[in-house]
Structure 1
Amino acid sequence: MPAFGSKTFRRATTASSTLGERLGTLYRAKLPRHPFLLFGLPFISVIVAASFVLTPATALRYERHDRKVRQLDQEEAMALGLKGENGEESIRRNPRRHVIGSDRDEYYKLMAKDLDDWEQTRVKRFKGEPDGRFD
């Protein structure tokens, strides 16, 4: 008698796993012949569908954040006295309006500086801090 029998091993089929096993076997058998149809197309469709599903959720997130920031800004403005009780601007000007200029203003400020004639100076170090010199 040989060490191993000539019959191939087959599992006993159960009613609960028969359909799943058959579908899995069929899918694995057809996958090498039609890889894009059975793997690529479902993958791409899931990615596109997820994009359409997640877009409103992301928009909702940013809208809630904007509402929260706007509410805090109004509370801060009233606390600083920049807006009156009824929401209209007070007589005081916004101090940040003059600090932040437009891009054009910044461009002209940089163009007015002489960037070719400059001198490198060392920054003063604290006492006991190494300054990188080897004297």
Structure 2
Amino acid sequence: MPSTTVEMLNDLINMCEDARNFYANASYQATSQRWREVFRKIASTRESIIINLKSHLNSMVGELAEDGSPADPSSNIFKLRNTDINNGDLALVENLEKAENETLRKFRQAIESEPPAATVNIIERQMQILNETHSHMKFLRQSLGKAA
């Protein structure tokens, strides 16, 4: 398997780990029960994606590349949002929707890099899950925007 595929998968895994960590931390820090539940669910979803991507990578190379490339700077999109957790629902959701957009863009770029067919299939399946999260954030933004 070309090392670029390993690096690409490691980058996607790193980005999803950053998102999972953000949402897990946010579920503890949020003052609203509503947000705690939303964040907990999304953290769990990201954990599933991480497991699926790592499993695929392990099946391709025998073991996860420990010297994988460092996280792409764009994987910091969720780390930068920690201060937003309790700074207003609409602003938070707008920022998270942007972060989810960036995540989907990175997954689309991964497919465009023309990895092996099995890798494309796993990425596409994970994108379906990410699209649900993005749609949920979009719905929340629209709902909050109408309430404002």
**Whose Rg is larger?**
1
TM-score, length-scaled by structure 1 = 0.24
Q: Which has more helix, going by share of residues?
A: 2
Q: Which has the higher contact order (CA 8 A, sep 6+)?
A: 2
| TM-score under structure 2 length normalisation | 0.22
